[in-house]
């Protein structure tokens, strides 16, 4: 089976609000699927339907090839989530919190607690009370709890929310490690694309309840690449010079007089010089980045109201 998750025209309506509408999402085994959307876009609602916490108004969810409903919770043993679970007990230690959850989840292997503490890098503070933890440590403890029963599919709703750059990096490293080393498929949501795009293999963009697009890693890289952009008086001659002087083939004339060069970025001064020397007027030459963030903002229509 290739797919861990498939949704079919998944829709959730609340009176006059359509929170999620006709979403067809696919997550393949091994994906780190970044689920991106502004506040109120419908991320949590979709995740709640996926995990059977709420029923869809219409449409279906399949996890591991089986239909999900509130009556069918067997699949829950194979997924781990950090949505809707109560926070940790502040007056208990990390280890005590995990021990409680271990009993609740009927995980018989007591050694599993040390394993998950190590996975999230909290082994050194395992006997400290949670109330002294940073937000990042609390998030990682939440992830440790979600991992206790060895899920195959981990669903993290905004795990980087409110963290500082160091905390975000730690979560990112952890997610990559869980996917690459432990083979766990991961769905991770965020309203800030730049916080997660470096680690994902696929991205789904949701806006106003609609899944606008699902793009793979190659497309992500493609849309996030740097290039030299030159405004020249003679694009054909410029192309000739790029190929013959610099052996550059990875370029394109995006419109008459505007040429983009996707390699040898460090050579932009030399390229400029050769153009001018050969009688080409260079009105502008700059290094640009076609960021995924720009693309996301364009798709979702305006500022990310984070």
Ligand X SMILES: Nc1ncnc2c1ncn2[C@@H]1O[C@H](COP(=O)(O)OP(=O)(O)OP(=O)(O)O)[C@@H](O)[C@H]1O
Site for ligand X, residues 36 to 55, rule: CB under 6 A: 37, 39-45
Identify what 19 binds: Mg ion, ligand X, none; CB under 5 to 8 Å per kind. ligand X
Question: Given the complex with ligand X, which of 98 and 163 has the nearer CB atom?
Answer: 163
Angstrom distance (rounded) from CA 5 to CA 61: 7
Q: Kindly determine how many residues on this chain lie close enough to bind ligand X according to the rule CB under 6 A.
A: 12
- Whole-number Å distance between alpha carbons of 237 and 230: 13
Residue showing the smallest CB distance to Mg ion in the complex: 44
What's the min distance (Å) between Cβ of 49 and Mg ion?
Answer: 13
Q: Which residue number, 45 or 300, has a Cβ lying nearer to ligand X?
A: 45
139 binds, among Mg ion, ligand X, none (CB under 5 to 8 A by kind): none
156 binds ligand X (CB under 6 A): no
CA distance 64 to 3: 7
Regarding 220 and contact with ligand X (CB under 6 A), the answer is: no
Instruction: Compute the least distance from the CB of residue 266 to Mg ion, in Å.
Output: 42
Q: Which residues contact 288 (CB under 8 A, 6 or more apart)?
A: 226, 227, 228, 229
Q: Considering only 18-26, 41-49, 138-146, 289-297, which stretch makes contact with Mg ion by CB under 5 A?
A: 41-49
What's the closest the beta carbon of residue 14 comes to ligand X, in angstroms? 4
Residue 54 Cβ, how far from ligand X at the closest point, in Å? Answer: 8
**Is 191 an interacting residue with respect to ligand X (CB under 6 A)?**
yes
- Least Cβ distance, residue 93 to ligand X (angstroms): 30
Q: What is the 3-state secondary structure (H, E, C) of 219-283?
A: HHHHCCCEEEEEEECCHHHHHHHHHHHHCCCCEEEEECCEEEECCCHHHHHHHHHHHHHCCCCEE
In angstroms, the CA 220 to CA 134 distance is 32
Considering beta carbons, is residue 12 or 43 the nearer one to Mg ion? 43
Among 6, 19, 34, 44, binds Mg ion (CB under 5 A): 44
Beta strand 226-232 with 258-261 is antiparallel
Min CB(244)–ligand X separation in Å: 52
> Residues of 62-88 as b/e, b for ≥16 C-beta within 10 angstroms?
bbbeeebeeeeeebbeebbbbbeeeeb
Strand partners, 27: 5
Nearest of 84, 96, 146 to residue 119 by alpha carbon: 146
Residues that bind ligand X (CB under 6 A): 14, 17, 19, 37, 39-45, 191
């Amino acid at each position: 089976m290739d797919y861990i998750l498939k949704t079919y025209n998944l829709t959730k309506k609340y009176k006059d609000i359509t929170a999620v509408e006709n979403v067809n999402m696919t997550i393949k085994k091994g994906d780190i699927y970044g689920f991106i959307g502004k506040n109120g876009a419908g991320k949590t609602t979709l995740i709640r339907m996926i995990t059977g916490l709420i029923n869809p108004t219409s449409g279906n969810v399949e996890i591991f090839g089986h239909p999900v409903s509130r009556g069918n919770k067997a699949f829950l043993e194979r997924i781990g989530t950090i949505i809707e679970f109560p926070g940790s007990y502040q007056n208990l230690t990390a280890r005590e919190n995990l021990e409680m959850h271990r009993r609740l989840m009927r995980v018989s292997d007591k050694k599993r607690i040390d394993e998950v503490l190590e996975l999230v890098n909290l082994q050194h503070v395992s006997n400290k009370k949670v109330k002294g933890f940073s937000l990042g440590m609390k998030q990682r403890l939440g992830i440790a709890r979600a991992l206790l029963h060895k899920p195959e599919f981990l669903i993290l709703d905004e795990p980087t929310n409110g963290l500082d750059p160091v905390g975000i990096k730690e979560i990112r490293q952890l997610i990559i490690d869980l996917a690459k080393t432990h083979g766990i498929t991961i769905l991770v949501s965020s309203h800030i694309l730049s916080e997660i795009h470096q680690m994902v293999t696929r991205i789904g963009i949701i806006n106003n309840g609609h899944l606008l697009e699902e793009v793979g890693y190659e497309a992500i890289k493609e849309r996030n690449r740097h290039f030299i952009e030159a405004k020249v008086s003679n694009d054909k001659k410029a192309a000739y010079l790029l190929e013959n002087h610099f052996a550059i083939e990875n370029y394109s004339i995006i419109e008459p007089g505007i040429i983009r060069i996707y390699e040898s970025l460090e050579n932009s001064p030399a390229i400029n010089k050769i153009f001018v020397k050969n009688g080409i007027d260079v009105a502008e030459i700059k290094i640009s980045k076609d960021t995924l963030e720009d693309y996301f903002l364009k798709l979702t229509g305006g500022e990310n109201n984070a």
